[in-house]
């Protein structure tokens, strides 16, 4: 499992440094697409080659050389094309990755409007607006109160105020 983790980070670095065409999210998305759709199936069929190398450095070199092969370069370009198609069909995914204030909220880069999502009981996602002057969302459970202008967190039946400055009180 460590090797897959190492491989993923190696691919992120490689694709980011060599093929970064647009945003960082797009790079991570391309790496995931490449890894899951193209590289992972190859490794499943050929893992004995990598596993016969007994050092991490040697396995890293093998992976770097594999990625530089012409057939893998074509697969990387295909993953980039797949990602461009996906993002053209799902433009909201780009906005959801822009998180300048908090990892629990996102912002439309053009309008500067801030949002957070909540999961509804039926499994769908509800999008909520955040006022521009609101403090960063403190947790994934926090909800913005339009009446008190504070973040509120539900915990086991009672409500905990997170306050305007992000502190309890």
pLDDT tens per residue across span 5-19? 555 555 555 555 444
**In whole angstroms, what is the distance from residue 94 CA to residue 97 CA?**
5
Is pLDDT at 150 greater than 70 in this prediction? yes
* Mean pLDDT of all residues belonging to the chain: 75
Three-state DSSP at 158 gives strand
pLDDT class of 57 with cuts at 50, 70, 90: confident
Q: What is the mean pLDDT of residues 17-23?
A: 44
Is pLDDT at 104 greater than 50 in this prediction? yes
Tell me which H or E stretch contains 88: helix 70-89
Report whether 164 contacts 135 (CB < 8 A).
yes
Is pLDDT at 65 greater than 60 in this prediction? yes
Name the residue with higher pLDDT: 108 or 83: 108
Report whether 63 contacts 10 (CB < 8 A).
yes
pLDDT of residue 123: 82
Q: What is the mean pLDDT of residues 128-143?
A: 92
Name the residue with higher pLDDT: 120 or 95: 120
Name the residue with higher pLDDT: 145 or 94: 145
Backbone angles phi, psi at 50, to 5 degrees: -70, -40
pLDDT of residue 21: 40
Which tokens is 29 given?
């998305």
**In whole angstroms, what is the distance from residue 112 CA to residue 3 CA?**
40
Query: With a threshold of 0.75, does the pTM exceed it?
Result: no
pLDDT class of 23 with cuts at 50, 70, 90: very low
**In whole angstroms, what is the distance from residue 80 CA to residue 34 CA?**
8
Q: What is the mean pLDDT of residues 117-140?
A: 89
Report whether 115 contacts 127 (CB < 8 A).
yes
Is pLDDT at 58 greater than 60 in this prediction? yes
């Amino acid at each position: 499992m460590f090797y897959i983790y190492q491989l993923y980070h190696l691919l992120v670095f490689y694709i980011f440094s060599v093929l970064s065409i647009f945003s960082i999210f797009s790079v991570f998305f391309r790496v995931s697409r490449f890894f899951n759709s193209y590289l992972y199936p190859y490794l499943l069929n050929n893992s004995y080659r990598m596993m016969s190398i007994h050092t991490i450095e040697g396995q890293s070199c093998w992976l770097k050389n594999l990625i530089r092969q012409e057939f893998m370069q074509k697969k990387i370009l295909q993953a980039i094309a797949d990602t461009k198609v996906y993002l053209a069909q799902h433009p909201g995914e780009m906005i959801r990755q822009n998180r300048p204030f908090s990892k629990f909220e996102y912002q439309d880069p053009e309008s500067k409007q801030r949002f957070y999502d909540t999961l509804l009981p039926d499994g769908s996602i509800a999008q909520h607006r955040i006022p521009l002057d609101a403090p960063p969302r403190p947790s994934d459970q926090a909800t913005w109160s339009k009446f008190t202008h504070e973040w509120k967190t539900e915990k086991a039946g009672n409500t905990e105020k997170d306050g305007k400055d992000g502190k309890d009180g």
